[in-house]
Every structure is written in C-alpha cells, then in structure tokens.
Structure 1
Amino acid sequence: MVRVRYAPSPTGSPHVGNIRTALFNYLMARRHGGQFIVRIEDTDKAREVPGAVEEILESLRWLGLTWDEGPDVGGPYGPYFQSQRLDLYHKRVEELIASGHAYRCYCTPEELAEMREFQRINKLPTGYDRRCRFRKPEELERLAAEGRPSVVRLAMPLEGTIVFEDSIRGRVEVESKLVDDQVLLKADGYPTYHLANVVDDHEQGITHVIRGDEWISSTPKHVVLYRAFGWELPVFAHAPIIKGPDGAKLSKRHGDTRCLDYREKGYLGAAVANFIALIGWSPGDDREKMSLREMEEAFSIERIQPNPGVFDITKLQWLNGVYIRDLNASELYDTVRQYHETTQDPEYRQSKAAQTLGKAFEEFSREYVTSALLLEQERVRLLSDFAEASEFFFDEEYEYDPNGVAKWFGQEYVVRLFEFVIENLPGAALSVEEAEGLVNGAADALGLAKRAEAIHPLRVALTGRTKGPGLFELMSVLGPDRIRRRLERTLALIREGAFAS
C-alpha cells in the first residue's frame, strides 16, 4: 500500500511551496487508495512558533484535505510529534555507533568556528574535518569522562559514489567524499531532521517521499542512513521550486504569503488547492479548473515537471472567480456571509462597504441580498469584492460618480426621463422584461436617438456608478419602490443645483 506523509515543522506558517508538497502527497495517496499521514517535525524547539501546529492543520482543512493518521486523529504508528519519539531516535543512534556508521563528536563551538575560519582563509572546502572520527579511543574516553557535551555525527563513506533514483529528476550520483559528516543527534538530545526523518519514514512505513527539491542535496545522507540500518529505500520525488512570473524566486511581492491569508482575502479553498496543485504538475491535458476529486483521479508523480513552476497571482484571481461563478444562489449567499462574518482582514473589516454589507445581512431579506450578490457574481474575483460591488443595493445615500454626473445629468432631457420612469413604474414587482420595456418606452417618448442615452443616466441615478450589472436586471432586483425613491432623490438634488459645476 502507498503510504505518504506531509511532515512540516511548526516554525512558522505554511506557504505556497510547503502546501504544494502536502497536496502532492495527499493526491498520491488518494490516487492509489493509500494513506496520507501528517507528522509534526518539532525537534527544533528554539524556533518553534506557538499556534503553528493548529495553523498547519487548519490550512489543510481549508484546502479540503483529510488525513488518515496524524497528531489530532491518532493512528497505529504514533505518536505523530517527533518530540515525543526521542527514545526511538536515541536507540537508533546507538545502533549506528555500535555498527561504526556514526560517532560522537566533542568539538566545541569555538573549535568549529576556528575550523571554518581556517578553511575560509585557505580557500578550502567548508565542512566538518572529521577530527573526532579519527581521535584515539582513549582520547574520546577522556573527553567523555570530563563531561564535555557531544553530538553524534554520521560517518559518511570516504570513497565511492552514492546513487539513487529520483522519480522526477532521474538518476542522481554524488561522490561520497564530498558529503559532510552530518550531525544526527544534537547535544540537547534532540535529533536533527536527517535522523528523525529517516527513522520515522521507516518506522511509519512510508513508501514514497515527495518533498521540495531543496532537500535533494540532503538525500545522499539519507540514502547512507537507510543502508546503514539495512532498510529498503522509499521512492524519492523532489518537486521543483516555485518562481514568480518574472523568473525570480517566489516572494511576497509575487503574492506568496501564509496559506490562510488567502482565505482572509476572499479566496476559496478549492480554488487555491486547484491552482497550487497545477504549479509544476499537469493532468496530461489542458484542463485548468479541476476539483480535488478530479485531481485525485489524474495525479501521478511522473507528470510533475522537473523545471520550476510559476506562481501567477493574476491567474489565481481568475480561477477563484471561476469557482465563485460556479456557486448556486444558496451557496453564494452562505459563502459570502460566512466570509464576511469570519475574515479578520483589516482592510476589509475597516471598509465602509463591508460595514454596509454586514447591515444588509441583518436588515434585508435573504432573497434580496442573494439577488444582489447574484448580479455581481459574474464580475468579482474574490469574496471580498462583493462588499464594494454590491454596496449600492443596500445604501440609498450613495455618492454619485462625478464623471457620470458631468456627462449625463446636464442633458436637457434627463429630468423628463426620470419623471417618465417614476410615472410608469408598476405598483408591485418589476421583471427584467418589464424594466427593459419601461426604458425603451422612455427613450421612444423622449425621442432619443439611442437607447443608451436613457440607460446611462438611469444607471448613474439608481446606483451612483457608471458601470455595473445590466441595468434591466438591477432595476428588477431593486424593485419599483427603491427605484422611485432613488429617482426622486436624484431629481431633488438636480433641482437644488447640487450637481452644478
């Protein structure tokens, strides 16, 4: 059975590259009917960030990912926090020392700093010079008796070539003598990533190790460890880095941020999962919108590209808009309301439009709010866009676009246009077809050459804007009473000279 793991360190918030690793592992497991494990690699206590574990798990949930084993659900191979598995690592280290594949190093920080400075001055390759590896046994016994702190280092082969197959990059060969004797166990008793990673992957039955290619240079050390223990190697797959559209390393200026920041900004988890999974992986066709289930069915390591993937925030915004447009009326209302009530994005929360939308959810009917949101559904890219886009539906004290006022409210026919519409409004509901007939009738009655000469000033009068949803559709949503009030308000302002330049 395929068993894969996502093993983040709780030293910060998960970002795009880290989350893509989780997605690839999840998709691999689901594609093959296997198991997806979450393991928290919390051995670097000095850098651990409070709340990071909770944020990691919440990020996965928001993207729609579930796991079969992990810190919150348990499983047969726990515990799933490395800090709770120290006895196991100590046992395995002693086995390595006993077999000659590891040794204790008593070098002090001052000695190591002096060593690096010597190498720098003499332009030598940097790295540990293995002095403790070749100390006489009696000297090592003396240092231990003195109580000098020690670490345990991996005894890398001093000759030969380390070879392994990578499912994305193919055959990889590295000269053994060029690889440093890596620290496996630190002086504080905690393992380094290299030891804990290999021991846990074996103990937890991991069959495929899918991770970022920043780890490919460490894989020769891991291969040596597997062989020292006499364990079978897993399948390795190192996914390429992610770059911005300009070819530079992905950074905040490209839109890279903590995963849950996308939720706060108004992205849908399904859209973000879809977008991130397709950075560097292809299903083999030209599909750009894929559900999690569709990606599960199509995923294969072989289709992960060896070249860097590109993170294009503009494309993510477009795809998010596609997902928003796929929501039905009930889903749209619930999704926008949930976003409005839960987001902590300061820019959104402080905006007048968001405050107006909040009042709308409380004061207007679900039917009216839904109708307004549906009209804006085709035009937004983010859930946060709905507040500003729909504000005029819920605020009758809206401001008028000065360009629209200058262009249309000075026309000699505009007062008669508004009066005609008011006089001919039906008493109850107004359908889209009736709204169109009313505007056409006004244009004909006033002898306007083009229907647009009636549409544009009516839009400005009813919404304060020059652009937006179709006029007839928004008139139908507003209904006769709101249309009447808004046109009467506009007429009053015109007569008062409020728009005079």
Structure 2
Amino acid sequence: DTDQARVVPGAAEGIEEMLDWAGIPPDESPRRGGPFGPYQQSQRLELYRRASEVLLERGAAYRCFCTAQRLELLKKEALRSHQTPRYDNRCRHLTPVEVAEKLARGLGWVVRFRLEKGVQPFRDLVYGWNKHEVADVEGDPVILKGDGFPTYHLANVVDDHYMGISHVLRGTEWLTSTSKHLLLYKAFGWDPPEFAHLPLLLNKDGGKLSKRQGDIFLERFARDGFLPEALLDIVTNCGSGFTEKQMGRTLEELISQFEIGRITTHSALLDLENLPEFNRIHLTRHIEHKGLRQKLVRELQELVEHVYGDQQVDQEVLEKEYVERVLLLRKGHIAFLRNLVSSDYSYLWVRPSVSREQLRAISAEADEIGALVVGLMARQAAVVTMEELSRALRSLQEQTRETKYSSMMQLLRLALSGQQHGPSVAEMMLTLGPREVCGRIHKALSG
C-alpha cells in the first residue's frame, strides 16, 4: 500500500480471503501475523526512511528538489522528440552547500538512487544469464517519495532482506528492473536472493489477461461454483514447471511434481472454456471423498431449499442419505453442484402431482405396469447399472398385453417426474432409488 492514492479499502483483506478459499493461505500476513512483521508497507515507513538515510550517507543516493512541473516538461519534451521520457539526473550534481540551502528554504524533496554503469550479470532461474545497463536507458529512480512512502524499488529490496527471503518469483515484466535492484543490494552491502521471472498468463487470443476481457476475479469463480482445485489445476496445466501435463492434480501432487527448471520463457495461454471440465474432475473427487462429500451434501440441501423452497419440497428428499445417494450416482455427470437443481433434475426434489386417470389415459394397463415396476424395484439390489435397469424395463414391457415400450416409458416418466422430457427413465429410477420410485408410483395410482 505504498501508493496511497491507489489504495482500495478492503482489497488486501479480499486477497487474503481468496487465498484461504483457494487452499493456499499465506504462512505470514497482516491477518495471521508472524516473526517478520508488520506486513503492511505503510506500517514499515521508519524502516524505509532509515534505509534511505544509509544510502544518502554513503553517496549512493541523493535528494532531488525538482518540481512536478519541471518533470512534466521533461516528459513532454522527450515525447516531442520521439524519445523515451527519463529524468536528466540534474540534482545528482548538487553540492552539499546547495542541498543545505534548499533544505533551509523548506523545499520539497524526494530521494533518488544513483544508477551506475557496469552492472554485473545475474543468473535468472528461468531466463538464464541476464544483465540490463539501466543507467544507459533510465534516469536515476525515485526510491523515497515526498510523502515518506517508498517506491517498489526500495521497498521490495528492504523487505526481502529483513524478512530473510531466499527466492523471489515474480512476473517477467520485472526482469529488466532486476539489475537495478541488484545495484541497491550492492549499495547496502547485502547478499541478494535468487530470482526467477515467470512468463505471463495470457488470454487464449494472446492478449494480456485483463478484467476488460471478462470477469477474471476469483470472487466470481467462487460465486459461480468453481472449486479452487480446478482453478489451480487449469493454471498449472497451461503453464509449465511440471513433469507432464495432466488434468486432475491435487495441490499435494502439484507440489511434489514442480521443478523450477522446467519453467519455459513462453507465455501461457489460459483457455477458461475448459474450466468446467476441470471442475467436473475435481467435483467427482470431492464426491468420492467421504469428508468432502458431507460438505457437498449440506451445500446441496441448501441449494434445493433455495431453488425449490416455494414448491414445498418434501423433507424426505432433503434427508442426508437421499442427497448423498444423488451425489454418488451423478458424480462424473455434473460439472457443478448447481447442475443438480437445474430443470433437468427438478424431478429429484419436487414430487409430481399425477392422477391415476392421467396414467390410464396413456395405458389401460397402468396398474399392472405399476405393480411390475414396484416388484422390480424391490429386487433392485441385483441391478447395479443403468444398462441392466434398461434391460429389466424392456423385459417388463414384454409382460404386458398391449402396451408399447414407448408408452410404458411415457407413463413411468409422468409418474416419476410429471414431465414429458428429461433424463431417461432408467436414469431417473436409478437416481431416485427404490423407496422413492415405489412411493411415487403408489401415490400416482392411488390418486
């Protein structure tokens, strides 16, 4: 929060909440605390002030009294000459007497770092050997602003040193600034950490990932029912640093497989159209895990009450055993938990109001068909797949005198769901289970 003009209230807290949601909470943070706090830069201003004083005393930095108006004129002149705007280092050459005179007059000032030529090459863990002669293309950078807040260049070096950071992994846009930061480490007399600059995530069209291209905030994904494991999975699949591409990896697997030497310098294209398939894989894993499944049961119960509450959902279809059965039988078929409260699955939660006359209008053998199906469901322990149930239903139809198979399916679909269309009858019967199927048929035939 060093740029106070751009601070958004609640943004930092939101970032930490999303990290918690994603299952990758920070080891240390403003909220959690830790041995190297405080963890907000606005609360470390005295540390940055002392660090800038050290550089001033060593002659590695100087006070700059240039006004904002003069800097703006420099910028406009450079642009008019088709040159890259840069500070002309004017105040670098002020004598101690001139500095003291300006301070006595109460002129505002910032601290600038002296960029020296002849930077040493450094080995980036991703990009290999690099060096950037920043003094040839940049003016001396501001490291402490007039309001006492540091710029990123000073803050990241000071923080990383005092927090004992061994490795810095950051976006590739900072690669050209690393030589500048290494000059700061050298001026302080500190050993620098190792650096690894990471290729960017891009939209599938090759453009920079941006909120202008769509809602890419984590809160949106959480709200829409995406699992954090699915987001981690798709991001690491489109990037690199792993032994091979593989959908469905857990965080533990990602950690064990990661090799920093495998990261390439190519930007990664993030195709979010594939995210639902990643979510389906991880939702299946959640359903198969007994502990995670119980959480899904509670969430699905709440969803059902929210979506179908005004239709007087019978409490029996909200029982834990029934909801758990639905999850287990639909795993692999759904990408989101909300799929189970869509219109296609409304038959699971809302019992139809169907009369005996409606069923007999389809077939005069409605009572006989109902009895045959009830008998089949009583023996359903032997029926373990939808294919077997479909064959059993075909066999039942052969026991009727005159009802066609299509008419029997229409009759059963109406009795079970009250709908003309939807999943196959075998799928509905298997998902509803013997007790619910028998209950609905009895209710329809007695109504």
Structure 2 length-normalised TM? 0.84
Please tell me whether the aligned partners of residues 186 and 192 of structure 1 are also in contact (alpha carbons under 8 angstroms): yes
Tell me the secondary structure at the aligned position of residue 69 of structure 1: coil
Please tell me whether the aligned partners of residues 198 and 226 of structure 1 are also in contact (alpha carbons under 8 angstroms): yes
Please tell me whether the aligned partners of residues 201 and 208 of structure 2 are also in contact (alpha carbons under 8 angstroms): yes
Residues 125-204 of structure 1 correspond to what in structure 2 (within 5 A)?
Answer: 125-157=84-116, 159-175=117-133, 176-204=135-163
- Equivalence for 1:424: 372
Assess, with a 3 A threshold, how the Cα gap between structure 1 residues 396 and 180 changes in structure 2: closer, same or farther: farther
Residues matched between the structures, number: 430
Determine if the alignment matches structure 1 residue 63 to structure 2 residue 12: no
| Post-superposition CA distance 1:32-70 (Å, at most 9, x none) | xxxxxxxxxx22222222222222222122222244333
- State how far apart, in whole Å, the 1-side matches of 2:4 and 2:353 are: 54
Determine if the alignment matches structure 1 residue 382 to structure 2 residue 336: yes
- Cα shift at 1:107: 1.3
- Cα shift at 1:369: 1.9
- Equivalence for 1:473: 430
Amino acid at match of 1:174: H
- Cα shift at 1:450: 8.5
Assess, with a 3 A threshold, how the Cα gap between structure 1 residues 186 and 483 changes in structure 2: closer, same or farther: farther
Q: CA RMSD in A?
A: 3.4
Determine if the alignment matches structure 1 residue 234 to structure 2 residue 234: no
Instruction: Mark the runs of 5 or more structure 2 residues left unpaired by the alignment.
Output: 384-388
- Cα shift at 1:74: 2.6
- Equivalence for 1:365: 319
- Equivalence for 2:182: 223
Q: Which stretch of structure 1 is more off in the superposition, 322-331 or 249-258?
A: 249-258
Please tell me whether the aligned partners of residues 352 and 415 of structure 2 are also in contact (alpha carbons under 8 angstroms): no
Instruction: Mark the runs of 5 or more structure 1 residues left unpaired by the alignment.
Output: 1-41, 342-347, 400-408, 490-501
Residues 334-483 of structure 1 correspond to what in structure 2 (within 5 A)?
Answer: 334-338=295-299, 353=307, 355=309, 364-388=318-342, 390-397=345-352, 414-416=362-364, 418-426=366-374, 431=380, 436=390, 439-446=393-400, 454-455=408-409, 458-459=412-413, 462-463=416-417, 464=419, 465-467=421-423, 470-474=427-431, 476=433, 478-483=436-441
Determine if the alignment matches structure 1 residue 108 to structure 2 residue 67: yes
- Cα shift at 1:429: 5.1
Assess, with a 3 A threshold, how the Cα gap between structure 1 residues 438 and 277 changes in structure 2: closer, same or farther: closer
Tell me the secondary structure at the aligned position of residue 288 of structure 1: coil
Please tell me whether the aligned partners of residues 424 and 438 of structure 1 are also in contact (alpha carbons under 8 angstroms): no
Assess, with a 3 A threshold, how the Cα gap between structure 1 residues 339 and 472 changes in structure 2: closer, same or farther: closer
| Post-superposition CA distance 1:206-237 (Å, at most 9, x none) | 11000111222322221111111121121111
Residues 165-314 of structure 1 correspond to what in structure 2 (within 5 A)?
Answer: 165-175=123-133, 176-252=135-211, 257-314=216-273
- Equivalence for 2:386: none
Assess, with a 3 A threshold, how the Cα gap between structure 1 residues 359 and 424 changes in structure 2: closer, same or farther: closer
Please tell me whether the aligned partners of residues 333 and 373 of structure 1 are also in contact (alpha carbons under 8 angstroms): no
Tell me the secondary structure at the aligned position of residue 216 of structure 1: helix
- Cα shift at 1:415: 2.5
| Post-superposition CA distance 1:388-426 (Å, at most 9, x none) | 153221113599xxxxxxxxx99x994346444324343
- Cα shift at 1:473: 0.8
Please tell me whether the aligned partners of residues 184 and 195 of structure 1 are also in contact (alpha carbons under 8 angstroms): yes
- State how far apart, in whole Å, the 1-side matches of 2:378 and 2:275 are: 39
Relative contact order, higher structure (CA 8 A, sep 6+): 1
- State how far apart, in whole Å, the 1-side matches of 2:247 and 2:394 are: 41
- State how far apart, in whole Å, the 2-side matches of 1:417 and 1:182 are: 89
Tell me the secondary structure at the aligned position of residue 122 of structure 2: strand
- State how far apart, in whole Å, the 1-side matches of 2:395 and 2:137 are: 85
Assess, with a 3 A threshold, how the Cα gap between structure 1 residues 451 and 155 changes in structure 2: closer, same or farther: farther
- State how far apart, in whole Å, the 2-side matches of 1:337 and 1:413 are: 40
Tell me the secondary structure at the aligned position of residue 195 of structure 2: strand
| Post-superposition CA distance 1:236-272 (Å, at most 9, x none) | 1111111122222223476652223222111122222
Assess, with a 3 A threshold, how the Cα gap between structure 1 residues 414 and 437 changes in structure 2: closer, same or farther: farther
- Cα shift at 1:329: 7.4
Amino acid at match of 2:431: L
Determine if the alignment matches structure 1 residue 96 to structure 2 residue 52: no
Amino acid at match of 1:166: D
| Post-superposition CA distance 1:363-405 (Å, at most 9, x none) | 7311122222333322211222222153221113599xxxxxx
Tell me the secondary structure at the aligned position of residue 174 of structure 1: coil
Amino acid at match of 2:348: F
- Cα shift at 1:193: 1.2
Assess, with a 3 A threshold, how the Cα gap between structure 1 residues 451 and 302 changes in structure 2: closer, same or farther: farther
Structure 1 length-normalised TM? 0.76
Please tell me whether the aligned partners of residues 369 and 400 of structure 2 are also in contact (alpha carbons under 8 angstroms): no
- State how far apart, in whole Å, the 1-side matches of 2:87 and 2:162 are: 29
- Cα shift at 1:98: 1.4
- Equivalence for 2:79: 120
Kindly, what percent of the aligned residue pairs are identical?
Answer: 33
Moved runs in structure 1, 4+ residues, more than 6 A?
Answer: 360-363, 447-450
Q: Which stretch of structure 1 is more off in the superposition, 388-397 or 455-464?
A: 455-464
Task: Pick one of 283, 288, 292 that aligns with 1:328.
Answer: 288
- Equivalence for 1:81: 40
- State how far apart, in whole Å, the 2-side matches of 1:112 and 1:221 are: 21
Assess, with a 3 A threshold, how the Cα gap between structure 1 residues 481 and 84 changes in structure 2: closer, same or farther: same
- Cα shift at 1:278: 3.1
Assess, with a 3 A threshold, how the Cα gap between structure 1 residues 354 and 112 changes in structure 2: closer, same or farther: farther
Please tell me whether the aligned partners of residues 106 and 150 of structure 1 are also in contact (alpha carbons under 8 angstroms): yes
Q: Which stretch of structure 1 is more off in the superposition, 311-320 or 322-331?
A: 322-331
Amino acid at match of 1:383: L
Amino acid at match of 1:109: A
Please tell me whether the aligned partners of residues 313 and 350 of structure 2 are also in contact (alpha carbons under 8 angstroms): no
- Cα shift at 1:279: 3.3
Assess, with a 3 A threshold, how the Cα gap between structure 1 residues 70 and 132 changes in structure 2: closer, same or farther: same
Tell me the secondary structure at the aligned position of residue 266 of structure 2: coil
| Post-superposition CA distance 1:86-117 (Å, at most 9, x none) | 11111110111111211111111111111111
